[in-house]
Amino acid sequence: MLLLTKRARRNGHAIAIFLAFLTLTLLLALPASAQQTYVTRFDTFAGYTFLDSPHVSLFENGFHLQVGVRPKTWYSLGFDYSITAGDLTLKPNLLTTALQQQLGAELGGLAAAGLLPPGYVLSVPSHSRTQTFAVGPQLAYRHFEHVTLFIRPDLGAIHEVATPNPLDPIAKGVVAQLAPSGKKTDWTPFYGFGGGVDLIFSKHVALRVQGDLVYDHLFDNLLKDGRLSTRFSIGPCFNFGKNIVK
């Protein structure tokens, strides 16, 4: 029950961040008025992003890129890519039940032989590098002259490279078993939803603020749970091509 409570708290934190972002988006849109009369065919975005995965206490900073084409003013199709990096600490409670039992038996054997320091707690600092790839539609609301609101489904793939940095001989022995090459790499699908706002400065330049809430289960042969992750991004958006408003 305690584990379920902690997990719900972590997931609730991610959801709270995303809901706060959506609320801010709506408040930014309120002062604007008048429908847009100039909408370009193409757009591209590049900016800062962070990826927050509370369940594994991983916070990553990085770069976010998007390119899109607008068949109609109210929807677009595009490609989405982000790369982030950060640090976390892996502990046995994050592992699958089978691995926890295996480690428990090994640590118990070391303790019985007098080779385990009193009060020893296994933990492994690690570095993570994460890339996300997605393609799909995005729906836009252009009722306001200087503000565009948008929402989208999030369907794609996530790639993560985790590099453990064990600090003591026991942790080094565990890492040698679980990651003989010195790192672990995994691909897995993710799904969720996202949205945001473009604050329009001119026909061709805007400031984009956006967020996404997605679920994945990376390293499912090692980690017992999937995780909810929040991505927040901000940066310039450039619009180009002919006006498609009719």
Can you list the domains of the chain with their CATH numbers? Answer: 2-243 (2.40.160.20)
Q: With a cut of 90, say whether residue 72 has pLDDT above it.
A: yes
Closest CA to 198 of 79, 47, 53, 7: 47
Q: Copy the structure tokens of residue 79.
A: 């490609």
Predicted pLDDT of residue 4: 38
16, 222 contact by CB (below 8 A): no
d(CA 234, CA 246): 30
Q: What is the pLDDT of residues 197-219, one digit of tens each?
A: 999 999 999 999 999 999 999 99
Name the strand (E) or helix (H) holding 109.
helix 97-112
Helix axes 169-178, 97-112, angle to 10 degrees: 140
Q: Copy the structure tokens of residue 184.
A: 């672990």
Closest CA to 231 of 199, 206, 194: 194
- Confidence band for 39, pLDDT divided at 50, 70 and 90: very high
- Confidence band for 108, pLDDT divided at 50, 70 and 90: confident
What pTM did the predictor assign?
A: 0.85
A 10 A CB-CB count for 21 gives 20
Q: What is the pLDDT of residues 221-232, one digit of tens each?
A: 999 999 999 999
d(CA 7, CA 16): 14
